[in-house]
Structure formats: structure tokens, C-alpha cells
Structure 1
Amino acid sequence: MHTREQQLQAFGRLLDIMDELRSKCPWDQKQTFQSLRHLTIEETYELGDAILNNDLQEIKKELGDVLLHIVFYAKIGSETDAFDIADVAEAISEKLIHRHPHIYGNVEVENEDDVKQNWEKLKLKEGKTSVLEGVPKSLPALVKANRIQDKVAGVGFDWEEPQQVWEKVQEELAELNAEIEKGNTDNIEAEFGDVLFSLINYARFIKVNPENALERTNKKFINRFQYLEKAAKKMDKSLHDMSLAEMDVFWDAAKKIYK
């Protein structure tokens, strides 16, 4: 691994390159906060994919792409004297110190839950009127639900035992079934949302990240379905021409390969 001096030199090199690109490259010169936003989101998802695949070389590459965006935003900010990369680093450093009084102060904690509760209390003291203010509105719904539940739990609004949460899941399923029998589509959608929300909450209690779990299943399904497509192609058949029974034979084979 590199020394701290080497790390700082590498970061300084990136800053120098960013300065040069911004002054000489037509594409980089045109970029704004708004034009980079969707690209940043894309890069973040690509990093997420690399992490899910546990591909360390790809994680390193994608971290570089995300870091470039941070440096780019800071460069744009410096051009109007709004802020620069030093301001960004100083601001997060000060926040981390303030939010960790058990490290930089005299507060004592026993476990991770204590740390999270202190974190949320400190944010309210900083002027936030709700612990949910920090949940981005544009987050995907599943991720947002997980963050909402995590944040309210940080101030003690939570179930005590996993079994209670599982009973809530069963309760929501029963309510969904009742609405399905009635046939009111609006109520069915509302109750289906409640089922998903309760399942996401239960995932937290059994230490499962619901986003990772669902994406794992997505990848598994894709692999199995593509195996089925290849098997059909070898038989010179289209899936449209195969019966469900025929497809099930290859699906069962795929399940043994992709678990």
C-alpha cells in the first residue's frame, strides 16, 4: 500500500489534471452541475454493481470514476468562488468530528445502535426538523423505504423483536388478500405497498440488505433465463414455440447451476 505522502501526491495529480481538462478540453469546459448529475448517478450504480460482484479491480476503477465526479463538481464550484475541494474536505471532516463525540469527545457508547441514535440526535440539534429530512426524494422506492426505517429506528421508533415484525408482515398479507378479493385496484396497490414496506423492515431485523437481496435474485433469474434461451437455440427452437413443460426441464437444470 502507498504511504500517506504518495496518496496525497496521487490526489494532487488528479486535481492538476482536472484543472487542465477544464481549461483545454471542449467537452469538460461545457459541463455543469446539472449536466453531470445523471452521469454521477450512473457511475454510482456501476460502483454498486462492482461491489455486488465483489470484483475488487472493478471497484477500484469505479471508485476512480466517482472520485473524478467529486473533483469535477468542486472545480466547477471554485470557478464562482462558491467552494473548492478543500472546503468539501474540511466540511466533511468537521461533520465527522462533530457526529462522533464518542471518539472526539467524552460521550460513551456500548454498541453500533448507540452510535446511530447519537447521530440522529445530533442532526436534530443542528437544526433539522425531522430525522427523515436526510432521505433523498429521488431514491429508488426500495432503498428509500430501507433508509426511512433505519433512520426512525435511530431515534427509538422501532419494534423490539423480529417476531413482532414478521407478524406485521403476515397481517399486511392478510389485508392484501382481503382487498384482492374485493377487487379494488387502488386499495390493492396500497396494501401491496404495505406488504413490501413490512418485508423491508423485517429484512433489517434479520440483518439482510433488501436491495442487495433483490439484486442477487435478479442476477440469478437472468442467468437462469439466459441458460434457457441458449438451450432453446441449440434445439433450433424459439421460446414461443416451446411448451411450459419443455421450458421447465431446462429451467430445473439452470436452477442446479445458478443457485
Structure 2
Amino acid sequence: MTHALPPLARLLAVMARLRHPTEGCPWDIEQDFSSIVPHTIEEAYEVAEAIETADWPALKDELGDLLFQVVFYAQLGREQGLFDFDDICSGIAEKMIRRHPNVFADQKEADAEAQLKAWESHKEKEKPRESALDGVAVTLPALTRAAKLQKRAARKGFDWAEAAPVAEKLREELAELEAEMTNRHPDRLAEEMGDLLFTCVNLARKLSIDPESALRGANRKFERRFRVVEDSGAATPEAMEAAWEAAKKAE
């Protein structure tokens, strides 16, 4: 019934049918805003994975899955009289125009850095904050949230001038963790580990490295090498270590 519609209109019609009280899908009918959130997060990460692995056919599919999440929220909003898909599109279009006076008005910025500062200035005018740290979502992955908190503080001048002192701070935090390891107090160990990880994020930030992307890359590398270890049939720690080193050299 929807084949004659343009692609976006067809997708919206499919979503409406899935949510139809009597003719829709029981699972889709049962969902609400909160229940969809885990799926949205998962789809966003699958988009990131497709990009990081340069799997462009997968990226097309994953972007479709992510778009479907937006369409699902829009359908829920329409049913409850809160907003619809057009409202979402209009809102983001207006925001982009408003925050890019260098493109849509006469205000010009010298470079990308100046534009970023102007962007943040526009955001602050639209959403006044008591603290520079307000508005950093607590539901973000911990590494990402740490980086955003640090960037916000840095804009206020609370930052190291370069990466070298952060590396020294990292060694200091590691020494504190090692000292606490002798006491084996769970709460203090967790606190020191948190400080170490927070400083790792700070060093990544000073080196212009996204910590989440870097850690995902390390995870993929570990998976790749460990599969080689498994395939080698190594059964002892020594043999597994040798297979691991062989996998490293093969790369």
C-alpha cells in the first residue's frame, strides 16, 4: 500500500502501520520512549563501527536503522500530541540556521576554531547555564563524558598548556594506584583507578585523540590477535604468549 509514496513518506507510513492499535505489530505497539532508548544507543554504536571499519554497505543499512529510531520517537510523539517528524526536522533546521550566522547571515568567522567558539556562544545564549559543566549528559559513556567535562573546564582556562604535564600526572596517578594495591581497599582502589582513567582521557584530549574511538580500536586489535591465538591451538600460557607475539609481528 505504501510503494507509491516517496521513500521518507513511505517510512513514516510503515511506522504508523506498525503502531496501529489493531493491525500493527504487538512488539512495536508495546514500546514507549524509554523502552526504545537501549536500541537507539545500540544502533548509534553500530553506525560508528561501520564507519571505523570502512564498511560502507553496512553503513547504509545502519544509518537506516538509526533513522528508524528517530521515526519511532516521532510516531510516539505524534500519538501523544507532543511533536511529529515535521516538527523534528523544522526544529533542527532552524537551529542550524540560527547557529551558523556565518553561512546564513552576514557574520563571518576567520576559521573553524573561531566558528566553534561562536557556536558555543550561541548555545550559551539559547541555554544559559549556572556552571560550564551544566548540560553534559550523565548518560554518556564515561570516557566521552570525561572528555566533554574536561573540554568545558578548558574553555574557562582550567587546563594544562600542553600534553607533557598530563603525561607526568598520569605517572603520578599510576603510582598512587600501585600504592593503594597493597591495601586492597575496594573503594579506594576504585577511586584511584577512576583518577587514572580520567587522566588518560585528559592526555588523549591534549593529543587530539577521541578516547572512545581509541579504545574501540584497541578492542578490535585485541579481538583480532586473540583469534589468532585461539586458531593456533596453544594450550599453555607460554604457548599462548608466543602465538600472541607472532600475531603482533604478522600485523
Q: TM-score, normalised by structure 1?
A: 0.83
Whether the 8 Å contact between 1:117 and 1:155 is mirrored in structure 2 is: no
Question: 2:236 maps to what in 1?
Answer: 243
For each residue in 1:198-236, what CA deviation from the matched residue of structure 2 results, as whole angstroms up to 9, or x when unmatched?
A: 12111122221111111111111112112111211xxxx
The secondary structure found in structure 2 opposite 1:207 is coil
Report the AA paired with residue 201 of structure 2.
I
2:41 corresponds in structure 1 to 41
**Quick one: distance in 1 between partners of 2:131 and 2:121?**
10
- d(CA) in 1 for partners of 2:66, 2:230: 35
In 1: Cα distance, 2:159 partner to 2:103 partner: 26
Alpha carbons of 1:165 and 1:175: their partners in 2 closer, same or farther (altered >3 Å)?
same
Seen in structure 2, the aligned counterparts of structure 1 residues 33 and 133 have a Cα distance that, compared at 3 Å, is: same
Counterpart residue number, 1:4: none
The 1-side partners of 2:244 and 2:194 are apart by: 30
Which amino acid letter does the alignment assign opposite residue 227 of structure 1? V
Assess, with a 3 A threshold, how the Cα gap between structure 1 residues 220 and 25 changes in structure 2: closer, same or farther: same
Residue in structure 2 matched with residue 32 of structure 1 by the alignment? 32
**Deviation at residue 84 of structure 1 after TM alignment:** 0.6
Task: Quote the Cα distance in structure 2 between the aligned partners of 1:18 and 1:243.
Answer: 54
* 1:74, distance to aligned residue in structure 2 (A): 0.5
Please give the alpha-carbon distance, in whole angstroms, between the structure 2 residues aligned to 1:163 and 1:252.
Answer: 30
| 1:197 alignment counterpart | 198
Question: Over residues 31-57 of structure 1, what are the superposed CA-to-partner deviations in whole Å (9 max), with x where a residue is unaligned?
Answer: 221222222122122222212211111
User: Would you identify which runs of 4 or more consecutive aligned residues in structure 1 move more than 6 Å?
Assistant: none
Aligned counterpart, 1:158: 159
| Structure 1: stretches of 5+ with no match in the other structure | 1-7, 233-238
Aligned partner letter, 1:13: R
Q: CA deviation at 1:77?
A: 0.6
Question: For residues 207-222 of structure 1, what are the structure 2 equivalents within 5 Å?
Answer: 207-222=208-223
Gaps of 5+ in 2: none
What residue number does 1:100 align with? 100
- Residue 53 (1) aligns with residue 69 (2): no
Displacement after TM superposition at 1:106 (Å): 4.3
Question: SS at 1:136's partner residue?
Answer: coil
Tell me what 2:175 maps to.
174
Q: Could you tell me which residue of structure 1 aligns to residue 16 of structure 2?
A: 19
Q: Could you say which residue in structure 2 is the equivalent of 1:78?
A: 78
CA distance change for structure 1 residues 21 and 181 in 2, over 3 Å: closer, same or farther?
A: closer
Q: Could you tell which deviates more after superposition, 80-89 or 136-145?
A: 136-145
CA–CA separation in structure 1 for the residues paired with 2:208 and 2:232? 37
Look up the SS of the partner of 1:116 in the other structure: helix
CA contact (8 A) 1:44 1:66 kept: yes
Q: Output the amino acid matched with 1:16.
A: A
Shift, 1:155, TM fit = 4.5
Please state if 1:62 is matched with 2:85: no
Alignment of 1:105-120 (within 5 A): 105-120=105-120
SS in 1 for 2:19: helix
Identity %, equivalent residues: 41
The answer (yes or no) to whether the contact 1:116–1:154 under 8 Å persists in 2 is no
Alpha-carbon distance in structure 2 between the residues aligned to 1:160 and 1:90? 41
Distance 2:38 2:246 in 1: 40
Moved more, 85-94 or 105-114: 105-114
Is 1:113–1:154's contact at 8 Å kept on the other side of the alignment? no
How many residues align structurally?
243
Q: More deviation in 43-52 or 145-154?
A: 145-154
